[in-house]
Structure 1
């Protein structure tokens, strides 16, 4: 068997050797899944804290409240998107763009009585133009009037879960950093590939490609913006002087 290839890659093996090692890895994968299930079970047993249900938001119809953002459902998942006031689209947060771009089909959440919404940290007028440029159709609000109450200094970006009981609202969970990876499938798929995420921090064999220092930005823009630019969409956020 020819074992020479012209790029850095896994060693070549016959099917039985490959499957034997994959079977060993599968044991660890199942342990990982069960550990995740146990963490989720502990998460469901966390206490909750009440937040003002009348916290003001701004939406398409004008002023609304956090309670309104539930759209009558029992639970709300809210992503607090960062916003750089006065900055053009190219300078908006690439990470928030990365994560929010991947929340698309909401029917499965709705079937479990859960609403998803973006609560942007910037003004509604500018940020909704960004949403429209990106082509996102998730519910969109400005949480700018309520950031001190709802985030309480937690930053720079937050994914939070809420439970409604009548007219009362409770926060049941929040996370940031890599915890927000729950919003996306890209990393999960890349983690299954031979080269992984191709980011410098990963533990990969010598010679593996790891030359993506900013995985959410390409040529000075959040990566997902380029397809919108090529499609002729305007990225004018009304921020030009």
Structure 2
């Protein structure tokens, strides 16, 4: 048999020997992950002093209301600014994995919700478009997103903002009307209906809170690639033969914009949408 692949070809015995060697490293990685989880849980708890307010589908709410009776709250900082016409494609790909987890977490004393700066009506419309059912609150008009490093002002962006626990260099955006940047950031901004500076005034991350004896504490936050662990498609890709295979750049988009609808509600394998991907 002839083959044109450039990848190393081996026998079953060679594969098994290499796999057992890799297994040692995978077990070490798992144990290291367990240790990191323990260290996250050992971080000091910081009382939340401000009276944060949100807009939800159930009405105006305080931070305590977002717990919905649970003692623990996980907030995904979803990039959806007031000027966006759609949610960030990367955040959307992450959120595609929330629906199933929310039910299990809620029955384990943990409430998972997304929070964005856009007005509630924009969030609910996009949520309906995506077919999502998880809780999603708007922090529009409040300080929550800014205090938890998920949103920034034009002035902060111009001067160089603090994100992911470090200071970013000043960005060379000249005028708001200019596209500003290129590559992935520009493509994502275009998908969201804004220019790059406007897009980058929102940032991804997640924060954890606990409520005990009437006091809410902030326990953990992570940003940037710190959310890779909750991006469901990446653990799968990391186990695929070609890995993430992203040398060509951005490949993902909002799930209703793919030509193939495999895995989407009401679809069959290889079914094509005649509406260009929009429902």
With the shorter chain as reference, the TM-score category is 0.7 to 0.9
Q: TM-score, normalising length from structure 2?
A: 0.70
Give the secondary-structure state (helix, strand or coil) at the position aligned to 2:208: strand
TM-score, with length taken from structure 1: 0.80
| Distance verdict in 2 for CA 1:224–1:6, change over 3 Å | farther
Residue 57 of structure 1 corresponds to 54
Q: Give the drift of 1:163.
A: 0.3
Shift of 1:175: 0.6
More deviation, 130-139/185-194: 185-194
| Residues 75/161 of structure 1: CA separation in 2 closer, same or farther (3 Å cut) | same
Matched, 1:95 2:90: yes
Q: How big is the shift at 1:184?
A: 2.5
2:79 and 2:278 map into 1 onto residues whose CA distance is: 17
What SS is found at the alignment partner of 1:117? strand
Given the alignment of the two structures, is residue 176 of structure 1 paired with residue 223 of structure 2, yes or no? yes
Q: Matches of residues 1-241 of structure 1 in structure 2 within 5 Å?
A: 2=1, 4-8=2-6, 10-52=7-49, 54-89=51-86, 92-105=87-100, 106-146=102-142, 148-149=143-144, 151-152=146-147, 154-155=149-150, 156-200=203-247, 211=248, 213-217=249-253, 222-226=254-258, 227=261, 230=273
Query: Number of matched residues?
Result: 215
CA contact (8 A) 2:75 2:113 kept: yes
Is the 8 Å Cα contact of residues 257 and 277 (structure 2) preserved in structure 1?
no
Does structure 2 conserve the Cα–Cα contact (< 8 Å) formed by 1:164 and 1:170?
A: yes
- Measured in 2, the distance between the counterparts of 1:152 and 1:48 equals 16
> By how many angstroms is 1:82 displaced?
1.2
**Quick one: higher RCO (CA 8 Å, sep 6+), 1 or 2?**
1
Q: Once the two structures are superposed, what CA deviation does each residue of 1:159-199 show, in whole Å capped at 9, x if it has no partner?
A: 11110113221111111111112222211011112200002
1:184-239, Cα deviation, whole Å (9 max, x unpaired): 22110111122000023xxxxxxxxxx3x01433xxxx345445894979979xxx
Residue segments in structure 2 that go unaligned for 5+ positions in a row:
151-202, 265-271
Q: Over the residues paired in the alignment, what is the CA RMSD in angstroms?
A: 2.5
User: Structure 1 stretches of 5 or more lacking a match?
Assistant: 201-210, 237-241
Quote the offset at 1:93 in angstroms: 1.1
SS for the counterpart of 1:197 is coil
